[in-house]
Chain A
Amino acid sequence: MTQRLTNLAIGLIPVILALLFTTLILLIVGAPPGEAYRNIVQGALESPDKWASVVTATVPLLLCSAGLLITFAAGLWNIGVEGQIVAGALLTTWLALNLTLPSILFIPLLLMAGLVGGALWGLLVGWLKVYGGVHEIFGGVGLNFIAIVLTNYLIFGPWKPAGRATMSGTEPFPAEAWLPRLGNLAVYPIAVILALVAIALVYLALRGTTWGLKLKAIGNNQRSAFLMGIPTHQYMMGAFLLCGALAGLAGSIQAIGVRQRLIPGISGGYGFLSLLVVLLAGYRPLWVIPIALFFAAVGVGSPRLELNMQLDSALGGTLQGLVVLFVLLAQGVKKRDA
């Protein structure tokens, strides 16, 4: 029982510290903290519309986190998720702009395209790492950059809307490509289901399958795993492939759901944010869900600060970052004392 309580304290203290710190920042810039927090909460929860936005923002976080759980299990730092989201969105866009099929076929096809695009981009990081000796962090950063440049080139070049190129992206996709909404709320049931299924599958795979156990073995000690006869290279490539596929699916959903077109910055930073989600969750799949919801809510609520209080909405991001830092700090301290 006391063990439970100390664990709870270790979980809560960092959150409280993060709130205190953010409060301090608010006080320094001369904003009333109470009002700021109320704005964030209201901004995220005041109406069904807002709830819908929170859920929709949770989807890419869940998908990318599911993927990252896999690469982290294998001991890999897949910083390249951002690029993998974009790659999924790109392949989806290519099909969406060049094909028209009935929705019932088109949407699955487009989502598949997202999976494939992201998987290919993920495999590239893996290939560079496994066969080229390029650390996955560097490979990932490089490929993120390339994916962004490629998107901009396509939007302002081959895929520009008839006549004029703008920052607002490509032509909207044909209506057959749109992911169906729930009534007139901006929630996409298919996306939500896919995201939850992804987390559930990853949870089961890491917990109860030899595949997951082997990934964990590689993540903890690649040399021993190899000597045990585990084909470490294949498994690492597989982890990149799956993580890329899930990120690409998120990209696809952003393209045919939320945006209904390709825009620059289609990834919306969800890749990086989900790295934080997974770190905060301590690599535990089930914890990812509430944390992703929290991050999404802060993200959806923060713009209110700008509207109502003339504060920078980046404050929300600051809060998210601080929570992660303090949690990692608490874990570090706990480990050191153990």
Chain B
Amino acid sequence: MKIELRDIKKYFGPVRANDGITLTVEPGTIHGLLGENGAGKTTLMKVLTGFISADGGEIRVDGKPVHFTSPAESIRYGIGMLHQDPLDFPPLKVLDNLLLAFDNRLIPNRRGARRVLKELSQRFHFSLDPDARVNTLTVGERQQLEILRLLALGAEVIILDEPTTGISAPQKVLLFATLRRLAKEEGKSVIFVSHKLEEVEELCDRVTVLRRGKVTGHLEVPFRADQLVQLMFGQSLPKSERPPVTLGEPVLELQDVTVQTYRLTVPHVSLTVRAGEVIGLAGLEGSGQRLMLQACVGLQKPSSGRVLLGGQDFTRRSYRDFLAAGVAYLPAGRIEEGLIRGLTLTEHYVLAQRDHQPFFIDWAAATNGIQKKINEFNIRGRPDTPVEALSGGNQQRALLSLLPPALKLLALEHPTRGLDIESAMWVWEQLLARRRSGTAILFISADLDELLERSDRIVVFSGGVMAPPHRRGPHLGRGTGVFDRGREAGSVMCDA
């Protein structure tokens, strides 16, 4: 199916999210849509799938003008989308989730759905358990389920909005193989939305680059990386520096800590984190690194062992005690767990001033305060912008801007997930700058390069077991098989 977008316009108040975008997606190709945070990629795809209505322009499918008013309508035309922030999944079984898609379609029964699920899974080498509950699946598995659902619904065009954020390396390999197969063997069109150059280079046949709501270029394979960067940011990027830091006293000590939930046990972790140190927690999603990170900030109570913060026993203390002691936690779900939908940036600023909260709010001062942060952190938004209107990258900037100035320990989940390179580099500059005042940083990432580049030490989790930490050094590099070998990963991380 051939998709033509002509002169698409979409404005949000003064923001020109899409400012006259024209592009053509040929059948049987993987078409990349590349652009920095807030470039307007998601908006364009939402317009295409009828999620939001455009303020101008035309959409043609196989030459015929169409006008979708809802996603349901676009899927009837065979255009389906995997969303950037996965819409809420109810705690249904995988099979039922698939069944839901067919309310009034041909497939009459669970057995039929089970068969379709099995066939499709085999075809793409997915291993989805039809009876597992969707909320227990990893992000990557949910994505596989979504792809199957769209295919079962007869999608001819599949749009993926930043699909590689939050999935593991093997899942990514499988995803790319699937997408290639869909395009090359089954003649479907794939629109791959991303801000990651390497992925676009690796996967796409053609790419359209957006910048601030406008198309800055259409390129065909082979791409030149420097050209893509230039088109994306309007300039080439400097190499990031890693300022040297001398480590201080231990900030956080885990002594033989065991954390248990009904799903997973992380046994006997011992770890000392020193002031100014950056420790990366690696491993497949769901291997226990998140539990351990949450134990470090008081959100999970260990079932045995001790947690010391600045030498004091914090094992049984509440999360709020941890916060009061200079700990901060930035969860992976920025808009689900970090920010509050419906509140403005100014209101977030007021809430974030934990040490200085007079009973009556001084709105003028707060507006000034957040305006300074907006400038300093280069957030694309205004003090009165509700946070849900910020693009993913700007939400992360907002969260960082609201962190207290002096911190002992900063725990982050996927600090640069969903950020373009420029923003990611900038985020790490901010984080690493905090080390100089003695902040220790613990972070989870699914991005191997990020782990290797930013950590002083990396600890690898696998099926709940933590391998002893590895020091950063000359041998720590690609191809050591941290992720590629899945379950055994913990033991093969190379040493300095």
Count of chain B residues with a beta carbon within 8 Å of a chain A beta carbon: 24
Residue-wise, chain B 329-343 has the 8 Å CB interface mask toward A (1 for contact) of 101000011111111
Q: How far is the CA of A229 from the CA of B319 in the complex (A)?
A: 8
Q: How far is the CA of A209 from the CA of B351 in the complex (A)?
A: 11
Contact between A228 and B360, CB atoms less than 8 A apart: no
Contact between B363 and A230, CB atoms less than 8 A apart: no
Contact A208 to B363, CB < 8 A, known contacts A224-B338, A225-B340, A229-B320: yes
Residues in chain A near residue B331, CB distance under 8 A: 227
Taking each of A225, A227, A231, which has the highest tally of chain B beta carbons within 10 Å of its own beta carbon? A227
Contact A228 to B359, CB < 8 A, known contacts A213-B347, A221-B340, A223-B337: no
Contact between A210 and B358, CB atoms less than 8 A apart: yes
Residue-wise, chain B 310-342 has the 8 Å CB interface mask toward A (1 for contact) of 000000000110010000010100001111111
B135 at interface, CB cutoff 8 A: no
Q: How far is the CA of A216 from the CA of B346 in the complex (A)?
A: 14
Residue-wise, chain B 351-378 has the 8 Å CB interface mask toward A (1 for contact) of 1101001111101000000000000000
Contact A213 to B337, CB < 8 A, known contacts A220-B342, A227-B329, A227-B331: no
Contact between A220 and B341, CB atoms less than 8 A apart: yes
In the complex, what residue of chain A is closest to B322 when comparing beta carbons? A229
Contact of A217 among B336, B351, B358 (CB under 8 A): B351
Contact between B343 and A223, CB atoms less than 8 A apart: no
Contact between A228 and B350, CB atoms less than 8 A apart: no
Minimum distance in angstroms from A185 CB to a CB of chain B: 38
Q: How far is the CA of A229 from the CA of B351 in the complex (A)?
A: 9
A129 at interface, CB cutoff 8 A: no
Contact A216 to B360, CB < 8 A, known contacts A224-B337, A227-B337, A231-B320: no
Residues in chain B near residue A226, CB distance under 8 A: 319
Residues in chain B near residue A221, CB distance under 8 A: 336-337, 339-342
Contact between B361 and A209, CB atoms less than 8 A apart: yes
Interface range, A side? 10 to 19
In the complex, what residue of chain B is closest to A219 when comparing beta carbons? B342
A211 at interface, CB cutoff 8 A: yes
Residues in chain A near residue B329, CB distance under 8 A: 227
A304 at interface, CB cutoff 8 A: no
Contact A227 to B338, CB < 8 A, known contacts A208-B363, A216-B343, A217-B343: yes
Residues in chain B near residue A261, CB distance under 8 A: none
Contact of A230 among B341, B351, B361 (CB under 8 A): B351
Contact between A224 and B336, CB atoms less than 8 A apart: yes
Contact A210 to B361, CB < 8 A, known contacts A220-B343, A229-B323: yes
Contact between A228 and B343, CB atoms less than 8 A apart: no
Residue-wise, chain B 37-76 has the 8 Å CB interface mask toward A (1 for contact) of 0000000000000000000000000000000000000000
Contact between A210 and B363, CB atoms less than 8 A apart: no
Contact between B339 and A209, CB atoms less than 8 A apart: no
In the complex, what residue of chain B is closest to A218 when comparing beta carbons? B340
Minimum distance in angstroms from B482 CB to a CB of chain A: 29
Residues in chain A near residue B320, CB distance under 8 A: 229, 231
Interface residues in A189-211 by Cβ distance below 8 A to B read 208-211
Q: How far is the CA of A228 from the CA of B320 in the complex (A)?
A: 9
Residues in chain B near residue A211, CB distance under 8 A: 359
Residue-wise, chain B 111-127 has the 8 Å CB interface mask toward A (1 for contact) of 00000000000000000
Contact A210 to B357, CB < 8 A, known contacts A217-B351, A227-B329, A228-B351: yes
Contact between B340 and A217, CB atoms less than 8 A apart: yes
In the complex, what residue of chain B is closest to A211 when comparing beta carbons? B359
Residues in chain A near residue B323, CB distance under 8 A: 229
Interface residues in A218-248 by Cβ distance below 8 A to B read 220-221, 223-231
Minimum distance in angstroms from B388 CB to a CB of chain A: 10
Contact between B361 and A208, CB atoms less than 8 A apart: yes
Contact between A213 and B361, CB atoms less than 8 A apart: yes
Minimum distance in angstroms from B251 CB to a CB of chain A: 19
Q: How far is the CA of A216 from the CA of B344 in the complex (A)?
A: 11
Minimum distance in angstroms from A224 CB to a CB of chain B: 5
Residues in chain A near residue B341, CB distance under 8 A: 220-221
Residues in chain B near residue A229, CB distance under 8 A: 319-320, 323, 354
Minimum distance in angstroms from A255 CB to a CB of chain B: 33
Q: How far is the CA of A225 from the CA of B342 in the complex (A)?
A: 13
Q: How far is the CA of A228 from the CA of B353 in the complex (A)?
A: 10
In the complex, what residue of chain A is closest to B339 when comparing beta carbons? A224
Q: How far is the CA of A228 from the CA of B351 in the complex (A)?
A: 8
Q: How far is the CA of A228 from the CA of B319 in the complex (A)?
A: 10
Contact A208 to B351, CB < 8 A, known contacts A223-B337, A224-B337: no
Residues in chain A near residue B354, CB distance under 8 A: 229
Minimum distance in angstroms from B6 CB to a CB of chain A: 24
Residues in chain B near residue A220, CB distance under 8 A: 340-343
Minimum distance in angstroms from B330 CB to a CB of chain A: 9
Q: How far is the CA of A280 from the CA of B323 in the complex (A)?
A: 40
Q: How far is the CA of A25 from the CA of B110 in the complex (A)?
A: 47
Interface residues in B69-91 by Cβ distance below 8 A to A read none
Contact of B340 among A208, A224, A231 (CB under 8 A): A224
Minimum distance in angstroms from B275 CB to a CB of chain A: 22
Taking each of A220, A224, A230, which has the highest tally of chain B beta carbons within 10 Å of its own beta carbon? A224
Minimum distance in angstroms from A197 CB to a CB of chain B: 17
In the complex, what residue of chain B is closest to A207 when comparing beta carbons? B361
Given contacts A208-B360, A208-B361, A227-B337, 16 further A-B contacts (CB under 8 A): A208-B363, A210-B350, A210-B351, A210-B360, A213-B347, A216-B347, A217-B351, A221-B336, A221-B337, A223-B336, A224-B337, A224-B339, A224-B340, A228-B352, A229-B320, A231-B320
Write 30 A-B pairs (CB below 8 A) sorted by A numbering.
A208-B363, A209-B359, A209-B360, A210-B350, A210-B360, A210-B361, A211-B359, A213-B347, A213-B351, A214-B351, A216-B343, A216-B347, A217-B340, A217-B343, A217-B347, A217-B351, A221-B340, A221-B342, A223-B336, A223-B337, A224-B336, A224-B339, A225-B340, A227-B319, A227-B329, A227-B337, A228-B351, A229-B319, A229-B320, A229-B323
Binding site for A on B (CB under 8 A): 319-320, 323, 329, 331, 336-343, 347, 350-352, 354, 357-361, 363
Q: Which 3 pairs, one residue from A and one from B, show the smallest C-beta to C-beta distance?
A: A220-B342, A221-B340, A229-B323
